[in-house]
Protein backbone atom coordinates (compact mmCIF):
# COMPACT_ATOMS: atom_id res chain seq x y z
CA UNK A 1 0.00 0.00 0.00
CA UNK A 2 1.25 3.49 -0.84
CA UNK A 3 2.31 5.39 2.22
CA UNK A 4 -0.21 8.24 1.81
CA UNK A 5 -3.09 5.79 1.43
CA UNK A 6 -2.01 4.14 4.63
CA UNK A 7 -1.82 7.46 6.48
CA UNK A 8 -5.18 8.56 5.13
CA UNK A 9 -6.90 5.40 6.35
CA UNK A 10 -5.25 5.73 9.76
CA UNK A 11 -6.53 9.30 9.92
CA UNK A 12 -10.07 8.26 9.03
CA UNK A 13 -9.93 5.50 11.60
CA UNK A 14 -8.90 7.99 14.28
CA UNK A 15 -11.78 10.31 13.39
CA UNK A 16 -14.36 7.50 13.58
CA UNK A 17 -12.91 6.20 16.83
CA UNK A 18 -13.06 9.60 18.52
CA UNK A 19 -16.61 10.64 17.71
CA UNK A 20 -19.15 8.76 19.81
CA UNK A 21 -21.64 6.64 17.86
CA UNK A 22 -25.39 7.17 18.03
CA UNK A 23 -25.58 3.99 20.10
CA UNK A 24 -23.41 5.67 22.74
CA UNK A 25 -25.14 9.05 22.57
CA UNK A 26 -28.60 7.51 22.64
CA UNK A 27 -28.59 3.91 23.89
CA UNK A 28 -31.28 1.84 22.10
CA UNK A 29 -34.44 1.05 24.07
CA UNK A 30 -34.46 -2.48 25.49
CA UNK A 31 -37.14 -4.53 27.29
CA UNK A 32 -34.96 -4.35 30.42
CA UNK A 33 -34.86 -0.57 30.19
CA UNK A 34 -38.67 -0.48 30.02
CA UNK A 35 -39.03 -2.89 32.94
CA UNK A 36 -36.59 -1.00 35.17
CA UNK A 37 -38.02 2.43 34.45
CA UNK A 38 -41.68 1.27 34.44
CA UNK A 39 -42.20 3.27 31.25
CA UNK A 40 -43.55 1.41 28.19
CA UNK A 41 -41.09 0.56 25.43
CA UNK A 42 -43.25 2.55 23.03
CA UNK A 43 -42.98 5.71 25.13
CA UNK A 44 -39.25 5.23 25.53
CA UNK A 45 -38.93 4.84 21.74
CA UNK A 46 -40.83 8.10 21.27
CA UNK A 47 -38.58 9.81 23.78
CA UNK A 48 -35.44 8.49 22.11
CA UNK A 49 -36.64 9.60 18.68
CA UNK A 50 -37.48 13.10 19.98
CA UNK A 51 -34.13 13.28 21.75
CA UNK A 52 -32.26 12.33 18.57
CA UNK A 53 -34.35 14.76 16.52
CA UNK A 54 -33.98 17.79 18.78
CA UNK A 55 -31.26 17.54 21.37
CA UNK A 56 -28.20 17.53 19.13
CA UNK A 57 -29.17 20.64 17.18
CA UNK A 58 -27.44 23.31 19.25
CA UNK A 59 -24.76 21.26 21.00
CA UNK A 60 -23.40 17.73 21.07
CA UNK A 61 -25.86 15.14 22.37
CA UNK A 62 -25.49 15.19 26.13
CA UNK A 63 -24.81 11.63 27.17
CA UNK A 64 -27.54 10.33 29.47
CA UNK A 65 -24.94 9.34 32.09
CA UNK A 66 -23.44 12.82 32.25
CA UNK A 67 -26.43 14.32 34.08
CA UNK A 68 -28.00 13.11 37.33
CA UNK A 69 -31.69 12.16 37.59
CA UNK A 70 -32.49 15.31 39.57
CA UNK A 71 -30.64 17.49 37.08
CA UNK A 72 -32.65 16.09 34.16
CA UNK A 73 -35.82 17.36 35.83
CA UNK A 74 -34.30 20.84 35.72
CA UNK A 75 -32.44 20.68 32.40
CA UNK A 76 -35.07 19.11 30.12
CA UNK A 77 -37.83 21.72 30.61
CA UNK A 78 -35.30 24.46 29.84
CA UNK A 79 -33.97 22.66 26.78
CA UNK A 80 -37.50 21.79 25.66
CA UNK A 81 -38.21 25.49 25.73
CA UNK A 82 -35.01 26.11 23.73
CA UNK A 83 -36.12 23.57 21.17
CA UNK A 84 -39.81 24.61 21.31
CA UNK A 85 -40.89 21.06 22.05
CA UNK A 86 -44.41 19.98 22.95
CA UNK A 87 -45.08 19.04 26.56
CA UNK A 88 -45.56 15.46 25.37
CA UNK A 89 -42.11 15.32 23.74
CA UNK A 90 -40.57 16.93 26.79
CA UNK A 91 -42.01 14.28 29.12
CA UNK A 92 -41.04 11.45 26.74
CA UNK A 93 -37.46 12.73 26.44
CA UNK A 94 -37.08 13.05 30.20
CA UNK A 95 -38.42 9.54 30.75
CA UNK A 96 -36.10 8.16 28.09
CA UNK A 97 -33.03 9.94 29.43
CA UNK A 98 -33.61 8.76 32.97
CA UNK A 99 -34.40 5.20 31.81
CA UNK A 100 -31.34 5.07 29.56
CA UNK A 101 -29.23 5.97 32.55
CA UNK A 102 -30.50 3.51 35.18
CA UNK A 103 -29.51 0.39 33.29
C1 LIG B 1 -32.02 25.95 20.71
C2 LIG B 1 -30.76 25.37 21.14
C3 LIG B 1 -30.77 24.16 22.07
C4 LIG B 1 -31.52 23.00 21.92
C5 LIG B 1 -32.48 22.63 20.81
C6 LIG B 1 -31.16 22.15 23.05
N7 LIG B 1 -30.21 22.78 23.83
FE8 LIG B 1 -29.29 21.99 25.46
N9 LIG B 1 -28.21 23.71 25.70
C10 LIG B 1 -28.30 24.83 24.89
C11 LIG B 1 -27.42 25.88 25.41
C12 LIG B 1 -27.25 27.27 24.80
C13 LIG B 1 -26.81 25.32 26.57
C14 LIG B 1 -25.80 26.00 27.53
C15 LIG B 1 -26.48 27.05 28.39
C16 LIG B 1 -27.55 26.51 29.27
O17 LIG B 1 -27.29 25.65 30.14
O18 LIG B 1 -28.73 26.97 29.10
C19 LIG B 1 -27.31 23.97 26.72
C20 LIG B 1 -26.94 23.10 27.74
C21 LIG B 1 -27.41 21.79 27.90
C22 LIG B 1 -27.02 20.90 28.96
C23 LIG B 1 -26.03 21.21 30.07
C24 LIG B 1 -26.85 21.91 31.13
C25 LIG B 1 -26.12 22.14 32.40
O26 LIG B 1 -26.73 22.81 33.26
O27 LIG B 1 -24.98 21.69 32.53
C28 LIG B 1 -27.72 19.74 28.79
C29 LIG B 1 -27.64 18.48 29.64
C30 LIG B 1 -28.57 19.92 27.62
N31 LIG B 1 -28.36 21.18 27.09
C32 LIG B 1 -29.44 18.96 27.15
C33 LIG B 1 -30.35 19.18 26.10
C34 LIG B 1 -31.43 18.28 25.76
C35 LIG B 1 -31.75 16.97 26.49
C36 LIG B 1 -32.07 18.82 24.68
C37 LIG B 1 -33.30 18.30 23.98
C38 LIG B 1 -34.56 18.40 24.70
C39 LIG B 1 -31.39 20.07 24.35
N40 LIG B 1 -30.35 20.24 25.23
C41 LIG B 1 -31.72 20.90 23.29
C42 LIG B 1 -29.06 24.94 23.74
C43 LIG B 1 -29.96 24.01 23.26
Block means of pLDDT (10 residues each) for the chain, 103 residues, are: 63 62 88 95 96 92 85 91 92 94 66
In a domain, 9, yes or no: no
Q: Is 84 helix (H, G, I), strand (E, B) or coil?
A: coil
In a domain, 65, yes or no: yes
63 lines ligand 1 (CB under 6 A): no
Q: Which atom from ligand 1 is nearest to the alpha carbon of 71?
A: 26
In a domain, 14, yes or no: no
Residues in the chain: 103
In a domain, 57, yes or no: yes
Provide the domain count of the chain.
1
- Spell out the residues 6+ positions from residue 65 whose beta carbon is closer than 8 angstroms to its own: 101
- Spell out the residues 6+ positions from residue 57 whose beta carbon is closer than 8 angstroms to its own: 83
67 lines ligand 1 (CB under 6 A): yes
Structure pTM?
Answer: 0.82
Q: What is residue 17's predicted lDDT score, i.e. its pLDDT?
A: 61
In a domain, 54, yes or no: yes
Amino acid sequence: MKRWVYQLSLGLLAITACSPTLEQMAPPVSPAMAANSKVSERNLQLGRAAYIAHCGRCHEYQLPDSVSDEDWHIVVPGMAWNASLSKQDEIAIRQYLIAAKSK
